[in-house]
Amino acid sequence: MNLTGNTILITGGGSGIGRALAEQLHQRGNQVIIAGRRSALLDTVTAANPGMNSLVLDTADPASIANAVARLTQDFPALNVLVNNAGIMRPENLRKPDTADAEAIVATNLLGPIRLTAALMPHLLKQPAAAILNVSSGLAFVPLAYTPTYCATKAAIHSYTQSLRYQLKDTAIQVIEIVPPWVATELMGPAPTDPRAMPLDSFISETMQLLATGAEEICVERVLPLRRAPASGSEAAFFKTFNDALSQRH
């Protein structure tokens, strides 16, 4: 992916990984549009980054996606990069008969990227060079049992991204997967101070370096144990060790 000269839509761009990516790409001379549900948060980011644009978008709402895509394609005809980053992560007790959190997570983390990608596909196919970046997680490969549906949606995003890349292989659209480890963001509340969480600035710096190589799967060093676990032959043992260690946080 060329890291400059693009027009880029980043969902979940008001905080965390989305904001950090938006600011890095903005600094490299791209036209960046951040999208999210909270207008005040978006305004804070655009005020800190003159020239950056924002758009209120709820990726869990098909009508919101349709309205946003109509506006985007009219106001930003050169839009050629979509970053599906918006996501929610909630703990779940699977012993309780309540699926409200699970349904919300699926709507935002899985249906959102699928719907937004489909809605923008005709526009992206017209561009001379385009890219779709899907943010999955190291938890797509070794789930954190405390957040089961989040992990399941990220595993689905990994699978969906592989199929999307194959189906678009003869087009000008590059399909990239970003696979974060545990990063110190406010995804589940205040940013963690646990040293096992990768600092956000370090994650973004390494991610930008890997994006510049043209790689289709972006895995920083800290996520490799998770990414490689299924192929290691010891996934079950790794899963238990991983979850036993992290269960101490909860």
- Can you give the CATH number for the domain in which 224 is found? 3.40.50.720
Task: Report the number of distinct structural domains present in the chain.
Answer: 1
Q: Is 78 among the domain residues?
A: yes
β-bridge pairing 217-218 and 173-178: parallel
Q: Are 151 and 89 in contact (CB under 8 A)?
A: no
Mean of pLDDT values over 207-232: 95
Greatest CA separation found in the chain? 52
Q: What is the mean pLDDT of residues 228-237?
A: 86
DSSP H helical ranges for the chain: 16-27, 39-48, 62-75, 100-106, 112-125, 148-167, 200-211, 224-228, 235-246
Q: What percent of the chain has pLDDT over 90?
A: 87
Within 8 A by CB and 6+ apart from 123, the residues are 69, 73, 79
Is 33 inside any structural domain? yes
Average pLDDT over residues 187-215: 89
Residue 126 has pLDDT above 80, yes or no: yes
State the amino acid at position 166 in one-letter form: Y
pLDDT value at residue 80 = 98
Round the average pLDDT of the chain to a whole number and report it. Answer: 95
Please report, for residues 77, 152, 177, 196, the alpha-carbon distance to residue 241 in angstroms, rounded to integers and kept in the order given: 49, 19, 26, 14
CA angle at residue 35 from 104 to 12, to 5 degrees?
A: 50
The domain in which residue 166 lies consists of 7-249
- Give the phi and the psi of residue 178 in degrees, each rounded to 5: -100, 125
1 domain residue, yes or no = no
Confidence tier at 248 by pLDDT (50, 70, 90): low
Query: Is 150 one of the annotated active-site residues of the chain?
Result: yes
pTM of the model: 0.94
- Round to whole Å and give the CA distance between 111 and 218: 22
- For the segment 106-126, the average pLDDT, to the nearest whole number, is 98
DSSP code of residue 223? G
Which tokens go with 187? 């995804």
| Mean pLDDT calculated for residue range 197-205 | 96
Structural domain contains residue 103: yes
Q: At what angle do helices 112-125 and 62-75 cross, to 10 degrees?
A: 30
Burial of 214 (0-12, 13-18, 19+ CB in 10 A): exposed
Q: Would you place residue 222 in the very low, low, confident or very high pLDDT band (cuts 50, 70, 90)? A: very high
Quickly count: other Cβ atoms within 10 Å of residue 84's Cβ. 26
In a domain, 236, yes or no: yes
Rounded to whole angstroms, the Cα distance separating 191 from 186 reads 5
Query: Stretch 5-29: mean pLDDT, rounded?
Result: 97
Give the chain's end-to-end CA distance (angstroms, integer).
Answer: 39
Mean pLDDT to the nearest integer, 27-40: 97
| Domain assignment of residue 13, yes or no | yes
In angstroms, the CA 240 to CA 170 distance is: 41
Domain membership flag for residue 2: no
Assigned token pair, 58: 């709820």
**Is residue 32 domain-resident?**
yes
